[in-house]
A and B are shown apart, each in its own frame.
Chain A
Amino acid sequence: MTAYIGKRLLAAIPVILGLSIIVFLVMKLIPGDPAQALLGSYATPDNVERINRALGLDRSWPEQYVIWIGNLLQGDFGRSYILNRPVIDEVLDRFSATLILAGASLLICSVLGILAGIVSAVRQFGWTDRIVTFFVLIGISMPAFFLGLVLILLFAVQWRLLPASGMYAVYGGGDLPDLLRHLILPAGTLAIVATGVVARLTRAAMLEVLRQDFIRTARAKGLSENAVIYRHAFRAALVSIIPVIGIQTGFVLGGAVYIETVFQWPGLGQMLVKAVSTRDLLLVQGGVLVAATLYVLVNLLADVAQAMLDPRLKA
C-alpha cells in the first residue's frame, strides 16, 4: 500500500507542474505590454526597457517560467498591488474559509447523493425513484447563484431562521454553533448540484452491479435482500462512486466562487472574483494554483481510497 501511495504521489508531480505551465501561459495571454500598463504616461522606451529588465520580462518564456516556479516553490507568489500584501498570505487567510465551506458541501453531497442513489436504484421505477430523479433533475438544472438568493429570501428574510451572509455574527459570534448556523445555507446551496450528480451516478453504478454474476451468487447463498444490496452490491459500486466524489471536489471548489459571492463568505472564491474585477492578476494566479493543487491532491486521495477498496487495482 505504501508503495502504491508513493507511486501515485510521484505521478501527481507532473500534473501539478502541468497546471503551473497552463496558469503561466494563461497569464502570458494578457493583451498589451505590462511595462506599458505599469508606467502609463511615463512609458518612454528607456523606462519600458528598464522595467522589463527589472521584472525579468526581457528573458525567454522558458527562462521566465523557471524563475517563476522557483519563486513559487519558496512560497513567493508575488505581491498583490491592490491589497499591498504578499499573495500567499492573502490566499492562505482565505483558504481555510473555503475549506470549511467546500468540505461541508462535499460531506452533504456524498452522504445525501449516495443514499438517494441507492434508494433510487433499489426502488427502480417506483415512486421513490421518480421523486429522487425529479429532485436530481432540479438539482443539476438549478443555477446555484440563483438558488442561494431564493434561500436567503426564504430562510433569512421571510422566516428569519438563519443568517443571510458572512461566516460569523458581527456581535457576539465566533463560536462553533455560530459558524454552523452561518454554514447551513451556503454549504447546502453549494452541495445541490454535486448531490444530483452523485445520486445519478450512484444509481447507475448500483444498477450495473446488481446485474453482475456475483450478485446472483450472493442470492443463491440465501442472503437477505438487504445484505445483497448493502453489503455485496454497494461495496462493489463504491469502487466506482469514490472517483466521482473526487471529481465533485472540483465542482464544489469552482461553485464556491458563486456561493461565496452570494453569501459574502470570506473565502478564496470571493477573493478571486474581486481580484478579477480589479485585475489583480498575481492574486488570481496564486488563488487558482492553490485551489487546483488541492483538487489534484484530493483526487490522489480518491485514487488511494479506491485502491484500498479494490485489491485488484493495487497490482
Chain B
Amino acid sequence: MTDMTLSAPEPRKRRSNWQLLMANRLAAAGLFLFGFIVILAVLAPVLPLPNPDITDQPNRLLPPFADGHLLGTDHLGRDILSRLIWGTQVSLIVGVSATALAAIFGSLIGLVAGYARGATDSVLMRFVDMLMAFPYILLAIAIVAALGPGLLNALYAIAIVNIPFFARNIRGVTVSIRNREFVDAARLSGKSHPAILFTEVLPNVLPVIVITMSTTVGWMILETAGLSFLGLGAQPPTSDLGSMLGQARAQLFTAPHASIIPGIMIFVLVMCINLLGDGIRDVLDPRLRSGALDRPMPITKIDRKTKPAATLEDAPALVVDNLSTGFDDGKAITPAVRDISFRLGKGECLGLIGESGSGKSVTALSLMGLVASPPGVITAGGVYVGGREVLSLREQELIGLRGGRVAYVFQDPLTTLHPLFRVGEQIAEAILVHESVGKSEAHRRAVELMETVGIRDARSRASAYPHELSGGQRQRIGIAMALANDPDIIIADEPTTALDVTVQARILELLQNLRRERGLALLLITHDFGVVAQVCDRVAVMKNGEIVEQGETGAVLRDPQHDYTKRLIACVPELGEGQAFLDRVRPLFVEART
C-alpha cells in the first residue's frame, strides 16, 4: 500500500514527503530536538567538557549550578553534564545499532519468507511466532542471562526480541508485491531470485522498513537503557543513560538530581523520536493522511446562508426544496448535489435514478442529516416532512424523526446490519427507541414484523446473527426494521442492488405491497430503469448532482427529454436482444464520450 504513495504522483499540487513532515508541527519539533541531541552527542569529544570518568571525592553530589559543574556531580564527584552527553552518545549508538540489526535480520527473514512462500515461509514464520509468544523483556533477560551482562550482549538481546516485528511487517508487504507484474517481468527476463529480491522487491518494501524502524527505535533505546538500569547492560567504566540512572538510584533521597537528570534525558530523547516516528508513519501511510479516519458527527453539518421557511402550507408527506450538499476538504466545499427539489405524497412512489456518483445517495442521506460529516455539509435548501422544515429542528428532534416518521432501507444488508447483535434484537431496538414498551413486548412485535416481511419461522430466526441469514432474508430484516414504528416515509437507497435477480423481484414486490397497504410514501433510489418502470409512479433523473428531468414514469419512459435519460432507458436490455442491444445503445453514447 505504501509503495503506491511513492510511485504514483497525484495530479494536483502534491507536497513532497519532507514538506508534509514539516507541516506536522509536533513531528518537526521532534525532529529538531532529536537533531540537537544527536549533534551534542556527536560533538562530545570536541566540546569543552571535563573528563566524564574523573572522580573527585571532595566534590561529590554537588547540586546543579555549582561552580564549574552546571548540572552538579554524582556520587563519585564526576561531572553530570559531561557524563550525560557521553552517556547519550552511548545510548544512541546502542539503540540505533540494535534497531539496525533487528531491521536487517528481521527484513531478511520477512523478504525471504514472503518471497519464497511454501515450507520456507511456514518454518520461518512459526519461529517468529514463537519469539513473539514471549513477554518481550523476559526473553531479552534470558538472552542476557545466557550471554552474561554487558552492553554488547544487551544490544544483541534487544535486537533479537525485535526481529519478529520487522519480519512480520515486511513479510506481509512482500507477499502482496511478489505477484505484481513488474516482478513477473523480472522473473521472465531471467533474473535470479536474489537479484529480484534485492533490486525489484526491496525498493518497494523500503517504506515499510522505514516506518517500522522509526516506530521502534525509541522503544529500543528505552529497553537498552532499562537493561543497563538493572545492571545487565553497560558495565563500568562504560556508562549509558540507563546505568547512570541505575547507579544514582542509591542516592535517590540525598541527591535526587543525579537520578532525575539522566531520567529526563531518556524521556526527552524517546519522546522526540516517537513524535518523529509518528510523523513519518503519517506521511508514508496514505490512509491516515487523507483524513479517512475522521469521526462522523451525529448530524450532517448544516451551513445555510438563508434559512428556509419553518413550515409549508398544504404540503405532501415530503417536500425537498432546492437542497444542496457538498463535501468540505478543509479548504473549499466541493458541491455533490445542487438545487434538488421534489415532492412525494402519501402512498406515492418516486424513483430517483442516475449512475454511480450522480448524487442519489447523498440526496437520500441529506434528508435526515445522515451524510457523514466531516466532510459533508448541507449548504442550502430545506426538507419538509409533514410541512415542517426538519433541518432547522434541534438535533434531538431531528434524531427523533429518524426511524420514526422517516425510515431508511440501505443497500447492502450485510454491512448495514450490526454484525454482533441478533436480528430480532436489532428490530426490537428500533421500537424501543421510539416507544416506551417493555423488552418482551418489543421482541414480540419484532417477530411479528419479521412475519410481515415474509420471513418464515420468524420466532427462531429472530435469534440469528446477520451473517447466518441469506442476502434476501437480511434485506427483509432491514425492511422490517424500517417498518418498526409505522413510518410515513421510507427512503430505500438501492435496496435490491446487492441481491440476485429473483430475490430482487420479491423484495420489490414486498415494498410495493407495503406501500399500498400502509399508504407509505416511498422514495426509491436505483440505477435501474427496469426497477423504476416496475414500481414508481414518478421518476426524477439525476446527473452530476442535479435533477435533469422529472415526471410521470410512463411519460418519461415514452418521451424522454434529456439525452441522459434516453441513455439510461436504453441501458435496460431486453431478453433475446443479443448483439442488437449494443448496436442500439452505441450511438447514444458517442457524444457522451466527447
A236 touches B420 (CB 8 A): yes
Q: A255-B137, A288-B138, A312-B467 are in contact. Are A219 and B226 (CB under 8 A)?
A: no
A253 touches B274 (CB 8 A): no
In the bound assembly, the distance between CA atoms of A218 and B296 in angstroms comes to: 13
B89 CB to closest chain A CB (Å) equals: 18
Dominant SS among interface residues on chain B = helix
- Among B12-20, B57-65, B426-434, the one that faces the other chain is B426-434
Per the 8 Å Cβ criterion, residues 223-245 of A in contact with B are: 223-225, 227-228, 232, 235-236, 239
Which A residues are in CB contact (< 8 Å) with B226?
Answer: 143-145, 258
- Among B229-237, B508-516, B543-551, the one that faces the other chain is B229-237
In the bound assembly, the distance between CA atoms of A188 and B558 in angstroms comes to: 76
A141 touches B267 (CB 8 A): yes
A214 touches B293 (CB 8 A): no
B145 touches A275 (CB 8 A): yes
Closest 9 CB pairs of A and B: A254-B137, A146-B263, A222-B403, A141-B271, A18-B130, A250-B135, A221-B403, A222-B402, A220-B408
Q: A149-B249, A210-B296 are in contact. Are A29 and B147 (CB under 8 A)?
A: yes
Which A residues are in CB contact (< 8 Å) with B143?
Answer: 26, 29
A19 touches B133 (CB 8 A): yes
A219 touches B298 (CB 8 A): yes
Q: Does A51 contact B (CB under 8 A)?
A: no
User: Which residue from A142, A223, A272 sits with its C-beta under 8 Å from B141?
Assistant: A272
Q: Does A140 contact B (CB under 8 A)?
A: yes
User: Which residue from A27, A149, A228, A272 sits with its C-beta under 8 Å from B146?
Assistant: A27
Q: A141-B218, A141-B274, A312-B467 are in contact. Are A257 and B137 (CB under 8 A)?
A: yes
Dominant SS among interface residues on chain A = helix
Which A residues are in CB contact (< 8 Å) with B401?
Answer: 222
- Among A68-76, A83-91, A177-185, A290-298, the one that faces the other chain is A290-298
B407 touches A157 (CB 8 A): no
B259 touches A291 (CB 8 A): no
A213 touches B410 (CB 8 A): yes
B419 touches A236 (CB 8 A): yes
B293 touches A208 (CB 8 A): yes
Query: In the complex, given contacts A217-B408, A221-B429, A295-B133, what are 12 additional A-B residue pairs having Cβ atoms less than 8 angstroms apart?
Result: A149-B263, A216-B410, A220-B368, A222-B433, A223-B399, A223-B429, A235-B418, A250-B134, A254-B137, A258-B230, A273-B230, A310-B419
In the bound assembly, the distance between CA atoms of A184 and B236 in angstroms comes to: 34
A232 touches B418 (CB 8 A): yes
Q: Does B305 contact A (CB under 8 A)?
A: no
Which B residues are in CB contact (< 8 Å) with A7?
Answer: none
Q: Does A153 contact B (CB under 8 A)?
A: yes
In the bound assembly, the distance between CA atoms of A227 and B434 in angstroms comes to: 13
The interface bits of chain A over 150-179 (1 if a CB of B lies within 8 angstroms of the residue's CB, else 0) are 101100010000000000000000000000
In the complex, the chain B residue whose C-beta lies closest to that of A121 is: B295
B416 touches A295 (CB 8 A): no
B141 touches A214 (CB 8 A): no
- Among A42-50, A55-63, A108-116, A277-285, the one that faces the other chain is A277-285
Which B residues are in CB contact (< 8 Å) with A208?
Answer: 293
Which A residues are in CB contact (< 8 Å) with B229?
Answer: 143, 145, 258
A75 CB to closest chain B CB (Å) equals: 20
User: Which residue from B133, B252, B275, B407 sits with its C-beta under 8 Å from A149?
Assistant: B252
The interface bits of chain B over 285-310 (1 if a CB of A lies within 8 angstroms of the residue's CB, else 0) are 00000001111101000000000000
A146 touches B266 (CB 8 A): yes
In the bound assembly, the distance between CA atoms of A222 and B416 in angstroms comes to: 15
Which B residues are in CB contact (< 8 Å) with A153?
Answer: 252-253, 256, 260
In the complex, the chain A residue whose C-beta lies closest to that of B412 is: A213
Which B residues are in CB contact (< 8 Å) with A140?
Answer: 274
Q: Does B245 contact A (CB under 8 A)?
A: yes
A29 touches B146 (CB 8 A): yes
A299 CB to closest chain B CB (Å) equals: 8
Which among B226, B232, B430, B433 has the highest number of chain A CB atoms within 10 Å? B226
8 contacts between A and B (CB under 8 A): A26-B146, A124-B294, A137-B271, A145-B229, A223-B429, A236-B420, A258-B230, A288-B138
Residues of B with Cβ closer than 8 Å to A? 126, 129-131, 133-139, 141-149, 218, 222, 225-226, 229-232, 245, 249, 252-253, 256, 259-260, 263-264, 266-267, 270-271, 274-275, 292-296, 298, 365, 368, 370, 372, 399-404, 407-408, 410, 412, 415-421, 429-430, 433-434, 465, 467, 478, 481, 484
B146 touches A312 (CB 8 A): no
User: Which residue from A217, A262, A281 sits with its C-beta under 8 Å from B145?
Assistant: A281
B225 touches A143 (CB 8 A): yes
User: Which residue from A29, A214, A272, A284 sits with its C-beta under 8 Å from B418?
Assistant: A214
In the bound assembly, the distance between CA atoms of A146 and B225 in angstroms comes to: 10
A15 touches B133 (CB 8 A): yes
Which A residues are in CB contact (< 8 Å) with B478?
Answer: 217
A118 CB to closest chain B CB (Å) equals: 11
In the bound assembly, the distance between CA atoms of A22 and B129 in angstroms comes to: 11
In the bound assembly, the distance between CA atoms of A258 and B246 in angstroms comes to: 11
User: Which residue from A29, A222, A251, A277 sits with its C-beta under 8 Å from B404?
Assistant: A222
In the bound assembly, the distance between CA atoms of A236 and B420 in angstroms comes to: 7
A277 touches B402 (CB 8 A): no
Which B residues are in CB contact (< 8 Å) with A5?
Answer: none
In the complex, the chain A residue whose C-beta lies closest to that of B409 is: A220
Q: Does A276 contact B (CB under 8 A)?
A: yes
A192 CB to closest chain B CB (Å) equals: 12
Which B residues are in CB contact (< 8 Å) with A262?
Answer: 249
A246 CB to closest chain B CB (Å) equals: 11
Which B residues are in CB contact (< 8 Å) with A219?
Answer: 298, 370, 399, 402
Which A residues are in CB contact (< 8 Å) with B260?
Answer: 149-150, 153
In the complex, the chain A residue whose C-beta lies closest to that of B294 is: A124
A137 touches B274 (CB 8 A): yes
User: Which residue from A261, A272, A311 sits with its C-beta under 8 Å from B420?
Assistant: A311
In the complex, the chain A residue whose C-beta lies closest to that of B144 is: A276
Which B residues are in CB contact (< 8 Å) with A22?
Answer: 130-131, 134, 139
In the complex, the chain A residue whose C-beta lies closest to that of B485 is: A222
Which B residues are in CB contact (< 8 Å) with A272?
Answer: 138, 141, 145
In the complex, the chain A residue whose C-beta lies closest to that of B427 is: A221
Which A residues are in CB contact (< 8 Å) with B230?
Answer: 145, 257-258, 261, 273
Which B residues are in CB contact (< 8 Å) with A310?
Answer: 419-420
User: Which residue from A19, A204, A232 sits with its C-beta under 8 Å from B293?
Assistant: A204
B358 CB to closest chain A CB (Å) equals: 20
A291 touches B368 (CB 8 A): no
Which A residues are in CB contact (< 8 Å) with B141?
Answer: 257, 272-273, 276, 284, 288
Q: Does A99 contact B (CB under 8 A)?
A: no
B147 touches A31 (CB 8 A): yes
In the bound assembly, the distance between CA atoms of A228 and B142 in angstroms comes to: 47
Q: A217-B410, A228-B298 are in contact. Are A254 and B138 (CB under 8 A)?
A: yes
User: Which residue from A30, A216, A227 sits with its C-beta under 8 Å from B416?
Assistant: A216
B133 touches A292 (CB 8 A): yes
In the bound assembly, the distance between CA atoms of A138 and B372 in angstroms comes to: 33
B145 touches A284 (CB 8 A): yes
A276 touches B271 (CB 8 A): no
Q: Does A23 contact B (CB under 8 A)?
A: yes
A275 CB to closest chain B CB (Å) equals: 7
A276 touches B252 (CB 8 A): no
A202 CB to closest chain B CB (Å) equals: 13
Q: Does A301 contact B (CB under 8 A)?
A: no
Q: Does A35 contact B (CB under 8 A)?
A: no
Which A residues are in CB contact (< 8 Å) with B434?
Answer: 222
Q: A212-B415, A222-B400 are in contact. Are A145 and B149 (CB under 8 A)?
A: no
Which A residues are in CB contact (< 8 Å) with B231?
Answer: 273, 277
User: Which residue from B138, B145, B295 sits with its C-beta under 8 Å from A279?
Assistant: B145
Q: Does A122 contact B (CB under 8 A)?
A: yes
